Amino acid sequence: MEAFLTVCRAIHPLSPGLEAELKRLARPETLPARTMVLEPGTVEPVMDWWPGKRLLPAGA
């Protein structure tokens, strides 16, 4: 997360409120309830709207 914020700061200064919100969103408990694991250690939201794709939540 810090690497991402460092890149963001290099592009444009972040307000303290925006930086706090980005950090809040990066916490595991803020991930959507329905997520899927693509590779060990990664999670992606399930997107039911992808045409022709059936994605299952983790543990399904």
Tell me, yes or no, whether 9 lies in a domain: yes
Tell me, yes or no, whether 54 lies in a domain: no
Region 10-16 average pLDDT: 86
Tell me, yes or no, whether 53 lies in a domain: no
Collapse the DSSP code of 36 into the 3-class scheme (helix H, G, I; strand E, B; otherwise coil) and give the result.
strand
Tell me, yes or no, whether 26 lies in a domain: yes
- Residue pair 5/19 in contact (Cβ under 8 Å)? The answer is yes
Alpha carbons 4 and 31: distance in angstroms, whole number: 17
> What pTM did the predictor assign?
0.38
The pLDDT tens digits of the residues spanning 25-60 come to 777 665 555 555 555 555 555 554 555 555 555 555
Tell me, yes or no, whether 39 lies in a domain: yes
Region 14-26 average pLDDT: 83
Q: How many domains does the chain have?
A: 1
Tell me, yes or no, whether 15 lies in a domain: yes
- Parent domain of 15: 2-45
